[in-house]
Amino acid sequence: MPVPSLLSETTEVVANPDGTYTAEVHAGPTRYQDEDGQWWPVDLTLTKRSDGSIAPKGHPRGLVISGAADAGEHDLARLASGAAKLALGWEGTLPEPELEGTAATFREVRPGIDLVVDATRTGFEQFIVVKTRAAASEIKSIAMPWRIAGVVPSSEANGGLTLRGKDGKYVGHVPPAVMWDATVGAESGDHLRRVPVPMTVKAGIKPGSKALMLTPEQDFFSDPATTYPVTIDPSPTLKPGFDTLVQDNIGSDLSTSKELKLGSVTDGGTYRARSFIRWPTKVLADKRITAATMYLWNTHSWNCSDHEWQVWITEAVGTATRWSKQPRWRSDYPVAKSTMTKGYSGCTAGYITANVQPLFATAADHGWQTLTTGLRAKSSDEADPGTHSWKKFQSSEDSKDPYVSLTYNTQPSAPKNLTSAARSVAAATRRRSSPRQPVIRRRRPKRRIRTARSGI
């Protein structure tokens, strides 16, 4: 039976007939509540609405994408979460977008350039796809209208933007923009040639307006090694939950990525990756966790062979987490291990699992509000890319996000209305009472002793 009082964006709890509870916990929102208090599942599939705009079937941040539009300034995509509102726009004509799953593609917004908006659970990825070298030669900078309300942006040292509410609390961010060409590693599945794109907030065309100014690297466009199309990616998000990956050949924030990764690979160079997921665990405080299984949708692996991957308890992570700035991996707490593998021909994409009961029991015993777990290959495999440890998963931003299924009991309360007495015997036996062995006993009613009369 569902427990409505414990239902949230990330967590659902069911009471079982045997008195235990089962909880399904997600790192990001898996459902959302409308203005009438009704809960709906997240569904990122895009559909066209009656007013011509585009929107997911169900989005926790109210994502709306523009439909066809005439020349002028338009909101290409907009989000809202409580008082926080954010919109990224486009200056110019927008054709009717082509819809495929979570992506809307606007063809030829400029000669040789497409726009793509891809829905994520807490925001969107906006791709500028430069299809030809001739089109790239016309790009010196790209100004995208930028509207925000209820949030205060601040620049990060790495080139991104942190978004905070009026109360100073974190509500989302815009990671530094990046761009990559069409070169994809056969073993890793990664875009191998990628560079950062300087991003600043400038005055917009209209008085008082703002724009995100992107200044792509011209040398990358003109490099003979660059294979077109080239994709430029700014990714705004309003995100209370958190997961991220770190990679030793990438120095930027990857927390809005739809992917998590672990292991090492040699593919256009040797590099390693690890990932982190922060779970909400407030509902588990002081509970007795009897079972917990982590589910990860494994989209890509080097091959189908069984190679150990691990789940650790780590310290906190954030948008500043990098390979060179990782949290502490807590070897003083339990470590979960698994060898399950999917995501290759012969072991197609699917969920792989790990028994994480000891980790979530630790969080419950300590009463932690959140638990941060780290995913990595075992040390020997991570150090040797020839061991084929490379794996990629969908993150909390994608349609099949990571989750944990747990079973727990409520800890029993201390007994009441009991008395104790030390065991004692008659002094004539010379046995001493033992105060170290208390005996629980009930009080008995006094017995009436009758005496018989005798006659002479």
Residue with tokens 């790495």: 158
Residues 179-220 pLDDT 10s: 999 999 988 999 999 999 999 888 776 766 788 899 999 999
Q: Which backbone phi and psi does 284 adopt, to 5 degrees?
A: -95, -5
Q: Which backbone phi and psi does 328 adopt, to 5 degrees?
A: -70, 130
**Cβ–Cβ under 8 Å, residues 247 and 271:** yes
3-state secondary structure of 16: coil
Give the pTM: 0.85
Residues 3-29 pLDDT 10s: 999 999 999 999 999 999 999 999 989
Residues 217-268 pLDDT 10s: 999 999 999 999 999 998 888 765 689 999 999 988 898 899 999 999 998 8
Where exactly are the structural domains of the chain? Answer: 1-28+241-413, 43-240
CA nearest neighbour of 82 among 172, 6, 16, 211: 172
Residue 184 token pair: 């994809």
**Cβ–Cβ under 8 Å, residues 146 and 279:** no
**C-alpha distances in Å from residue 297, one per residue of 282, 340, 395, 446:** 25, 11, 8, 70
Q: Which backbone phi and psi does 185 adopt, to 5 degrees?
A: -70, 135
Residue 376 token pair: 């990595």
* Listed range (8-12, 59-63, 158-162) with the worst mean pLDDT: 158-162
CA nearest neighbour of 181 among 112, 233, 244, 108: 233
438 C-beta neighbours (distance < 10 Å), count? 12
Residue 98 token pair: 């082509």
Residues 285-329 pLDDT 10s: 999 999 999 999 999 998 898 889 999 999 999 888 999 999 999
Q: What's the half-sphere exposure (Cβ side, CA atoms, 13 Å) at 229?
A: 12
SS (H, E, C) 385-401: HHHCCCEEEECCCCCCC
Residue 209 token pair: 């307006």
CA nearest neighbour of 152 among 129, 168, 176: 168
Mean per-residue pLDDT of the chain: 88
Q: Where does residue 351 rank: exposed (0-12), middle (13-18), buried (19+ CB within 10 A)?
A: middle
Q: What percent of the chain has pLDDT over 90?
A: 66
Residue 67 token pair: 């439909």
Q: Is the confidence at residue 429, as pLDDT, over 60?
A: no
